[in-house]
Structure 1
Amino acid sequence: MSSGPPPNGDKPPRREDFARSADQVARQRSLLHQDTSRLRRVLRPGDIARRQRLVRWAKWALPAAALLLLGSIALWPALDRLINMQRGALREMENLHVTSGNMLGAVYRGLDEHDRPFMITADQAQQISQDRINLTRPVADTLTQGGDWMMVSAAQGVYLQHEQLLDLTQDVALYREDGVILTGVTADMDLRQGIIASDQWVHAEGPFGMLDAQGVLLSQHEGIAQFRGPGRLILNDDAHAGPAGHPSAPHASQTEPIR
């Protein structure tokens, strides 16, 4: 069969739902051209340089961040101890009450000339001057030449910070780790040189026996104790102990005057 134009000169049939105006066709072509241009846009030299800088920065920044993280993990135990120490210091500060030059729960620490530590505590401290501090119920802890602990307490005291001198009065008591107890009315302590002296009556008790003297001088570093008479010394006598270390009835005692 041959095809030809429709009879009577009619135009071919046309669907209205596919009909587009010239403006719509032009607009669609323009949109397609823009999308194609955007996808095929060539990077400019500035964009390439910026991306290269970003890559170089990442090569340095990422390893540095990893090293920083590893270092923080290694240092964390030390940081944790430091934080705990700071917390302890804050707790101590909370227990201190400072009012018009008075401080409750005062603590002073230092080293003597042989680098042995000492510590002074007091129920209350009153700052009189830059050097003098009046103490209520002071307690001084020191070490002897052999490293034994020794404590001296009193009802009142005066601490001279620059000279490291401590003057004690009223109910002075000295306790040594070897069991010696010495009591008196006053005592002067040179914390720097480790010397304790008193020019008033003292009473001492310990494993050696009992002693009363009119004065005393103790040198912790030299291990010397000098007592000034007149006085009385009662020594423990183990001569009457039974065999094999079994003591008999109460030990005898010897009484000697001190001159």
Structure 2
Amino acid sequence: MSASPPPPSRDPTAPRREDFARSADDVARQRTVLHHRTTRARHLPNPDDIARRRMLVRWAKWVLPAAALALLGSIAAWPAIDRLVNAQRNALHEMENLRIESGNMLGATYRGLDDHNRPYMITADQAQQVTPDRINLTGPVADTFTQGNDWLTIRSDQGVYMQHEQLLDLTRNVVLYRADGVIMTGVTADMDLKQGIVASDQWVHAEGPFGVLDAQGFILSQHEGIGLFRGPGRLILNDDSHAHPPAATPSSAAPPASSIPPARTEPTR
């Protein structure tokens, strides 16, 4: 009879059942430690903390949307703010180039808007403030916009600018330029910058793509796109088809010589 194999040897480092055996005192002590740790980790809020948290939540409900609206408003208003900043910068630049000598202002610039919110600008070599409303100008130049957003420039040797009425009276060597190529010269011209009207009751000479025009007065409405010239005047069109009447058609031409009856003569007495 053969001998039975020896039992397998155990690893001395492997855990054994007796290692997990705890006494009642150890269990009670461990439970007490766990209870104290749980009590310290969990802090129940008191009524003051709850009220403080409610106030913070209520405050956040109003402040956060208000901050979002303020941010959106600043984004929407930024273009206008940028235009104002640029306008102030341009004004400061013009003030740097401005010189005042003996009560006169050199390199003066005046800006404004007409009834249709189109900008206009008046520059002058020299400006003299006569009254709070009247300004005498030397070498004035006015730049405006027409109905089709085309530019119009008018200049002269002398001028008077009425600030409150937005009127500009030009005298001596008045020259008007338009974007469509029309050039008008005259002695005087009155300009209503607010309504966009230029008028004169003196002789005017105009040249442009249409031809040549001489008239005894004119009125131009930039907003209406209308130009009226007062006669007597002279108009020469560049297009010959408009300058001359149409040629006679064959049906209206003279009949052939064979069909013309002979002329009748009467004896003289």
TM-score by length of 2: 0.57
Does the residue aligned with 1:145 lie in a helix, a strand or coil? Answer: coil
Give per-residue Cα distances to partners, 1:83-126, cap 9 Å, x unaligned. 87766543322211123431111000000111111100000000
Does the residue aligned with 1:210 lie in a helix, a strand or coil? Answer: strand
Aligned CA RMSD, in angstroms, stands at: 2.7
Match of 2:208 in 1: 206
What percentage of aligned pairs have identical amino acids? 73
Match of 1:26 in 2: none
Match of 1:157 in 2: 159
Match of 1:232 in 2: 234
Match of 2:103 in 1: 101
CA distance, structure 1, for counterparts of residue 147 and residue 83 of structure 2:
32
Q: Is the 8 A contact 1:237 1:254 kept in 2?
A: no
Q: Is the 8 A contact 1:197 1:217 kept in 2?
A: yes
1:136 to 109, 128, 138: 138
- Equivalent position amino acid for 1:127 in 2: Q
Question: What pairs with 1:212-251 in structure 2 (closer than 5 Å)?
Answer: 212-237=214-239, 239=241
Shift of 1:146: 1.0
CA distance, structure 2, for counterparts of residue 81 and residue 226 of structure 1:
38
Question: What pairs with 1:57-76 in structure 2 (closer than 5 Å)?
Answer: none
TM-score by length of 1: 0.60
CA distance, structure 2, for counterparts of residue 226 and residue 86 of structure 1:
40
Segments of structure 1 that go 5 or more residues without pairing to the other structure are 1-70, 240-251
Q: 1:107 to 1:254 in 2, by over 3 A?
A: farther
CA distance, structure 1, for counterparts of residue 104 and residue 185 of structure 2:
28
Q: Is the 8 A contact 1:236 1:254 kept in 2?
A: no
Q: Is the 8 A contact 1:175 1:181 kept in 2?
A: yes
Give per-residue Cα distances to partners, 1:7-31, cap 9 Å, x unaligned. xxxxxxxxxxxxxxxxxxxxxxxxx
Give per-residue Cα distances to partners, 1:129-186, cap 9 Å, x unaligned. 0000000000000011111100000000000000000000001000000000000000
Q: Which has the higher strand share?
A: 1
Match of 1:194 in 2: 196
1:147 to 146, 149, 163: 149
Segments of structure 2 that go 5 or more residues without pairing to the other structure are 1-70, 246-269
Q: Runs in 1 of length 4+ with deviation above 6 angstroms? A: 77-85
Does the residue aligned with 1:90 lie in a helix, a strand or coil? Answer: helix
CA distance, structure 2, for counterparts of residue 167 and residue 225 of structure 1:
19
Give per-residue Cα distances to partners, 1:32-83, cap 9 Å, x unaligned. xxxxxxxxxxxxxxxxxxxxxxxxxxxxxxxxxxxxxxx9xxx9x9999988
Does the residue aligned with 1:103 lie in a helix, a strand or coil? Answer: strand
CA distance, structure 2, for counterparts of residue 214 and residue 81 of structure 1:
44
Q: Is the 8 A contact 1:234 1:254 kept in 2?
A: no
Match of 1:180 in 2: 182
